[in-house]
Amino acid sequence: MTAGATTPLDPVLTPPAEVQVSVDDSASTATLTWSAYEGEAPFAEYRVLRNVADRISVDTLAVLSSIEQTTFVDSTLAPEVTHSYRVLTINASGLEVASDAHIVRLQQQPPVIVNTLDLNSQTASVDVRWSQYTGRDFSSYQLKRSSGFETRVITETQARGDTAFVDSGLRGGTEYAYQVVVVTNRGEEISST
């Protein structure tokens, strides 16, 4: 090879992507955006990689062959787990150049808050109202009532905006406690106080 000649495997001809990651805790997503490839060697593809902290394996989330496609949304994140992202830029000769790693962690969603417990002694009922769950993977609300040593689900609704229930037919002289539990599509239960 002559002096000054370049090879398609020269990293200077295939610069790494500059990546930014933004996390939306309420939607349980991480959005990756990166700089479009501007190298001298012909472009082949981007690969979006994710690694879970403390694990050796790396998942390839996407293989993108369009040089203009510089965004990817990961909607498979688990809460309270640290994820590391990289974008590989690969040229037509097979040279892979990795971006810097970006570490993200979804926060656990806060529970709903029971805002109102209005007792109506004339009708022996309680009007229970709570804040709407704004987190990810909503499946249903369960309203639980406790009295003495017994706790049971008195109603369940799959409507996110349905945040009120009138519990009627209560017994006088009995102490009741209420709790709203959000059930997620992942089988998690997030309980109010």
Q: What is the pLDDT of residues 151-160, one digit of tens each?
A: 899 999 999 9
Task: Please state the separation of Cα 82 from the chain's center in Å.
Answer: 12
Residue 144's Cβ-side half-sphere holds a number of Cα atoms within 13 Å equal to 16
- The mean-pLDDT minimum among 25-29, 39-43, 95-99, 143-147 falls in 25-29
Q: Binning pLDDT at 50, 70 and 90, where does residue 1 land? A: very low
Cα separation, 46 vs 101, in Å, equals: 15
pLDDT higher than 80, residue 163: yes
Q: Binning pLDDT at 50, 70 and 90, where does residue 10 land? A: low
pTM of the predicted model as reported, rounded to 2 decimal places: 0.59
- Mean of pLDDT values over 36-45: 91
Place of tokens 């991480």: 30
Torsion of CA 190, 150, 126, 109, to 10 degrees: 0
Buried b (16+ CB within 10 A) or exposed e, 74-90: beebebeeebbbbbbbb
